[in-house]
Amino acid sequence: MLSVEESARMLGISGARVRKLIADGLLPATKVGRSWTIEEAAVMDRLATKPKGGRPPIQAVSAKDGSPVTDSTAEQLQIEKLKQLYAECKDTFKFRPGATCVEAAESAEEAAFYMAVADFFLKQEQAKLVKAGTY
């Protein structure tokens, strides 16, 4: 039987990571009092399988049916969300936010966001006018 610290040294990871593996059921262990004990065979099995390092990839879930989404479709979903965000911002910022809108912001960051987005769409409108020779 090995302690968390001994297992961590053998696996080349932190004690916190060993406890996380135990909590996730990926490393069988037995609680003795306030400590965990891990069978040496379980640690050796984990070493033999050489799990891939790093964080596991985030698995996106489809908003429509809750099914897992692959990396390529996750990127496509993100693109669709960004396009929707752009369209909503463009529609929302047809008006120029006045002092009342900025004062209603809950933080300086929120107020700066309003002003930055409004400024972006104002510059786009000005560019159209310059291109048309109106401005």
For the chain, the domains span 4-49, 58-89, 93-135
* The overall pTM is greater than 0.85: no
Q: What angle do CA 88, 89, 92 make, to 5 degrees?
A: 85
Residue 101 has pLDDT above 90, yes or no: no
Cα-flanking dihedrals φ and ψ of residue 50, to 5°? 45, 70
Classify each residue of 1-13 as buried b or exposed e, where b means 16 or more C-beta atoms within 10 Å of its C-beta: ebebebbbebbee
Q: Residues with Cβ < 8 Å from 122, sequence gap 6 or more?
A: 96
pLDDT digit string (tens) for 44-80?
888 888 766 666 665 555 555 666 656 667 788 888 8
Query: Coil, strand, or helix at residue 61?
Result: strand
